[in-house]
Amino acid sequence: MTDEEFRDQLDRHGGDLALWPADAARDARRLLLRSVKAQAMLDEMVTMELALGRSEDRPPPGLADRIFAAAFRLPQSDRGFDEDGDQPPRLM
């Protein structure tokens, strides 16, 4: 496996080699033993996946459902439009 092939596999399967097809993971492990570039690519992918996967960065469960429920419970006149119904109110 070359560094370019490794990058392609990273993009396809992510930074956890246990989730890769067995043959590709075996070849990747061999490449990682000799390629600093591949090691850096793997580190970068794992760091990115960890940053994107943080639970505190996600909205609380059910937030979208609560927003839609609250929006559709409002009477028509409280939806934020003027009497003519063609302009939203100014915020400032």
DSSP state of 82: -
CA dihedral 76, 77, 81, 83 (to 10 degrees): 120
pTM here is 0.58
Residue whose token pair is 């890769």: 20
SS3 state of residue 63: helix
Please state the rounded mean pLDDT for residues 37-51. 93
Q: Looking at the predicted structure, is the pLDDT value of residue 58 above 70?
A: no
Nearest to 49 by CA among 20, 13, 7: 13
Mean pLDDT of 16-27: 95
Task: With a cut of 70, say whether residue 89 has pLDDT above it.
Answer: no
